Amino acid sequence: GDKEVDYHPDFKLYLQTKLSNPHYPPEIQAECTLINFMVTEDGLEDQLLALTVLKERPDLEEQKAVLIAQMNGFKIKTKE
């Protein structure tokens, strides 16, 4: 640990943990990008259902996208 070594400029290191909320010292956090890939059963179910509907009934998936866009527009209007 007391000697620097050369490495390839494209080198990337990925680390993972099973801890739900890991704590890292500030000097580590400053050099890293932390990503939370926590998956819930409901979220996974929603993703699988969306893929199934897209495969079986693309028309319904398109209608869902239109409705979501409309809802987002309505939310923006109500905040104004």
Going by C-alpha positions, the residue among 10, 64, 14 that lies closest to residue 37 is: 14
How far apart are the C-alpha atoms of 21 and 5, rounded to whole Å? 31
Q: What is the pLDDT of residue 15?
A: 83
Q: Is the pTM of this model over 0.85?
A: no
> What average pLDDT does the segment 61-66 reach?
89
> Is the CB of residue 61 less than 8 Å from the CB of residue 53?
yes
Q: Which residue has the tokens 């932390």?
A: 34
* Residue 73 near residue 66, CB atoms below 8 Å: no
For residue 1, the model assigns a pLDDT of 67
Pairwise pLDDT comparison (80 vs 77), residue with the higher score: 77
- pLDDT one-digit tens code per residue, 3-59: 888 989 999 888 888 887 788 888 888 888 887 777 788 888 988 998 999 999 999
